[in-house]
Amino acid sequence: MKLTNKTKKMKKKFDSAIQARALLRLGTETWSRQAIHIHPSLKDRIASLRVRVEDLAWKCDPALLGFKSTRKIRPLRGMLGQRQALRALRLGLTVSSPGYNLFLCGLNGTESLRTIEEYVGSLHLPGQHVPERCYVQNFDDPQRPKLLNLPEGEGEKLLKGVTLVLKRLQKALQKKTEKQWRSVAKQVLEREFPGLIELFESSEARQWLEAWRRNLLDQIHNAVIEDFEVNLVNSGTQRVAPVVVERIPNTSNLFGWIGRRPIGEQAPAPHFTEIRGGSFLKADGGFLILNAADFYSLPSSWNMLKSCLKYGTLQIEDTDPSNPSRMGGLKPEPISLNVKVILLGDFELYDELFEADPDFRDIFKVRVDFDSEQTLSSLVLRREYPAFVARVCKENSLLPLSAPAVARVIELAMRKAGRKKKVTLQSWLMADLLREADYWARDARRRLITEQDVTKAELESNQRLNLVETKIAEMIMEGTILISTSGSRIGQVNGLAIYDMGDYLFGKPSRITAETAYGQGGIINIERESGFSGRSHDKGVQILGGFLRSRFAQRRPLNLTASVCFEQSYSGIDGDSASASEIYALLSSLAKLPLRQDIAVTGSMNQKGDIQPIGGVNEKIEGFFDCVRAGHPTGKEGVIIPRKNVNELMLRDDVVRAVKRGKFHIYAINTVEEGFEILTGLPAGRRRKDGTYTPHSAFALVDSRLEEITNGLRQFQAGEEDGGGP
């Protein structure tokens, strides 16, 4: 069960404190404070459901790493893991057909941009032929500056040669009167021009130089020297394909701009000599790496990017810097380009673009999925992850880590992955952890980052983000949020919910109640009726009806009106991980059997009664453990989780110690019946051939109550038909 509360919604939940305190003044809760008596036949069975201490967390033995510190560890080259993704990436990088740009799913942030840049650069892919490009004056249409695409080296020659001739001409004219300018210019050009034009084999350059010479002579008395200059906007072919990263992809940075230049005594105005190329031009013949999320606030950049990729041309636009939407007068000739774009983003953004933008699927034909976790093999444990840690230390000038510190980092990487034998590949998370551990090591004047520094960094990071968690804990302690961790009560169970604050997850117990009565209304989801329930939660509640029909409606119709509620929930609820808790509350209400309040429950279920795995199991267990520890623990408290989640347990050390001392208990179940036996202390019962359940069992009580409801409804309906109804 996931409570997707944002700050504003959480404040609304805090504001309910006044109402909750008013409820407390009305009277005390009427549950039994006596412990549930465990049926003798269940003691061994329940004991077998307890999770072994060695399964609660995985510990990395520093001796397995084979080094004392990362000081002499060679830093990792390339990416950590991602072998399948790298094969797909290599395909996209080398296929030259149109549209084979890449979208890398599962990568975000500056750390990922740098990693991809390093990887693509390390391939040393050959560069493609790129001409040297110069913008020059278009003597036929000055508002459309002319683009010269020249062979390698000729652009630089043209710039230097024209600049040299213009300097010599200016020097010669300074000593003459205006009447002599034309004859002097003619002499200078007759002397300099033949040597200049002979430098070029390109007909394009030679033709423009001829026009340049004619117009310079014709306009010598009114000529503006800047109009005869050359603007070299990019150099030619590189042996290795360029790899360019643009971290601020606005239109100017990506596609270039036209600056303003004062001409003579005039105010600054757009001029072809001020045309500048952006990252797109720099990446010609190579690769341009961008973060897709940056385009959310830059829709004009996104549209221009698509246009460049669709048509293979770049139009550098003249915009007024005081009003970017207003176009200026210059329109340079477009540049033909060959750039392969690599976009980084999450899976949700890819799906959104694929569905909403028809051009997207034609332009970005290569999707590369990057996994968020990797199997912790011996190679990863002893070589790759320590090498990754060493690289982060080198790149950020951090202190080296001791072997126990690296072992602790790997343990935390496994916890963040959420599965045993897996470690997270979200490198930016681990890099942040290492940077903060370095801070604490330096603060303690150490020369080496220790295990204690890594643990402190993780703890301090959590404490920076756990304000809402702390507030909820305070409200539970004050009794504002009603949670019972002792005694027993009918139709009430402690479910476990995950609070998602975006960059921080935590678990807390939530009271779930159920009421049952005569009727045919089925199961009413109060959260849905009040608009607080998501689709997954709605589905989970519908599954409850399927389970009840499978167990108790094989001999008779299921006649029942019931309601299920997350008490004191004032914001959105989604997910089906509370369905097991909800069925226990319903069964308890039907059988009039009290449920243990010192045991919290999390787990999804299907119609067959199988318990299915859920997310956030570590946070949920720790949330209830903290709640119990803050009160008056008896040592009998615990949590019921799905058996399939045992492989994901990476619990905090204090929780593991409590379980080891017998002060906290974690039960793993496969079926609804196993959990109900733990909560009630009675055998669930076995269905016999006649469809009834074994006597004195919990399900026999449920079945008996449903039989009573069915018979009562028949009598009521018969009374109405006889006129005896109301």
**What DSSP state is assigned to residue 38?**
P
Residues 449 and 490 in one domain: no
In a domain, 53, yes or no: no
Main-chain dihedrals φ then ψ at residue 677, nearest 5 degrees:
-65, -40
- Per the rule left: phi > 0, alpha: psi between -120 and 50, beta: everything else, 313 is beta
Closest CA to 373 of 672, 81, 77, 674: 81
Of 445, 465, 485, which residue constitutes the final position of a domain?
465
Whose tokens are 């909750």? That residue is 20
List, in sequence order, the alpha helices (H) in 106-228.
Answer: 109-122, 154-174, 181-197, 203-218
How many CB atoms lie under 10 A from the CB of residue 415?
A: 21
For residue 406 the two structure tokens come to: 């690296």
Q: Which residues neighbour 477 within 8 Å (Cβ) at sequence distance 6 or greater?
A: 630, 631
For residue 471 the two structure tokens come to: 């507030």
Of 437, 465, 493, which residue constitutes the final position of a domain?
465
Residues 104 and 223 in one domain: no
Q: How far apart are CA 354 and CA 679, in angstroms?
A: 48
Total number of domains in the chain:
4
Burial class (CB in 10 A: 0-12, 13-18, 19+), 558: middle
User: Is 130:238 a contact under the CB 8 Å cutoff?
Assistant: yes
Report the alpha-carbon angle 412-107-238, nearest 5: 125
Amino acid at 605: M
Burial class (CB in 10 A: 0-12, 13-18, 19+), 118: middle
Residues 449 and 436 in one domain: yes
Start-to-end C-alpha separation, the chain: 43
For residue 193 the two structure tokens come to: 């021009």
Residues 501 and 550 in one domain: yes
Residues 284 and 341 in one domain: yes
For residue 40 the two structure tokens come to: 């003798």
Q: Which residues neighbour 320 within 8 Å (Cβ) at sequence distance 6 or greater?
A: 326, 327, 328
Rounded alpha-carbon distances, angstroms, from residue 66 to 61, 151, 382, 389: 10, 56, 7, 15
Whose tokens are 């050959």? That residue is 126
Main-chain dihedrals φ then ψ at residue 604, nearest 5 degrees:
-95, 160
For residue 148 the two structure tokens come to: 């010269």
The residues with which 32 forms a beta bridge, in sequence order, are 488
Closest CA to 138 of 201, 212, 70: 212
The residues with which 599 forms a beta bridge, in sequence order, are 638
Rounded alpha-carbon distances, angstroms, from residue 490 to 80, 433, 468, 514: 52, 46, 31, 9
**What pLDDT is attached to residue 228?**
93
User: Is 409:434 a contact under the CB 8 Å cutoff?
Assistant: yes
Residues 142 and 126 in one domain: no
Query: Counting every residue, how long is the chain?
Result: 726
Helix (H) or strand (E) holding 408: helix 403-417
Q: How far apart are CA 570 and CA 530, in angstroms?
A: 10
Of 337, 370, 403, which residue constitutes the final position of a domain?
370
In a domain, 444, yes or no: yes
Residues 145 and 199 in one domain: yes
Mean pLDDT per block of 10 residues along the chain (726 residues) reads: 44 32 34 70 93 95 94 88 88 90 86 86 87 94 94 93 93 86 90 92 93 92 87 84 92 92 79 93 94 86 92 84 56 94 92 91 93 90 94 94 96 90 89 96 96 95 88 84 90 91 86 88 72 75 88 86 82 78 94 95 94 94 93 93 95 95 96 96 92 92 90 76 55
The CATH number for 299's domain is: 3.40.50.300
In a domain, 716, yes or no: no
Rounded CA Rg of the chain: 37
Residues 96 and 241 in one domain: yes
Closest CA to 343 of 291, 385, 301: 291
**One-character DSSP codes across 638-659:** EEEEEGGGGGG----HHHHHHH
In a domain, 242, yes or no: yes
Residues 142 and 284 in one domain: no
Q: How far apart are CA 81 and CA 170, in angstroms?
A: 63
The CATH number for 645's domain is: 3.30.230.10
How many CB atoms lie under 10 A from the CB of residue 226?
A: 16
Residues 98 and 17 in one domain: no
**What pLDDT is attached to residue 326?**
47
**One-character DSSP codes across 298-333:** -HHHHHHHHHHHHHSEE----EETTEEEEE-S--PP
In a domain, 170, yes or no: yes
In a domain, 38, yes or no: no
Range of the domain at 699: 2-30+472-707
Bridge pairing between strands 313-314 and 335-336: antiparallel
The residues with which 275 forms a beta bridge, in sequence order, are 258
Residues 101 and 218 in one domain: no
Closest CA to 596 of 652, 567, 543, 634: 634
Burial class (CB in 10 A: 0-12, 13-18, 19+), 75: middle
In a domain, 491, yes or no: yes
In a domain, 73, yes or no: no
User: Is 128:213 a contact under the CB 8 Å cutoff?
Assistant: no
Name the percent of the chain in helix, strand, coil, to the closest 5: 45, 20, 35
Residues 287 and 256 in one domain: yes
SS3 state at 274: strand
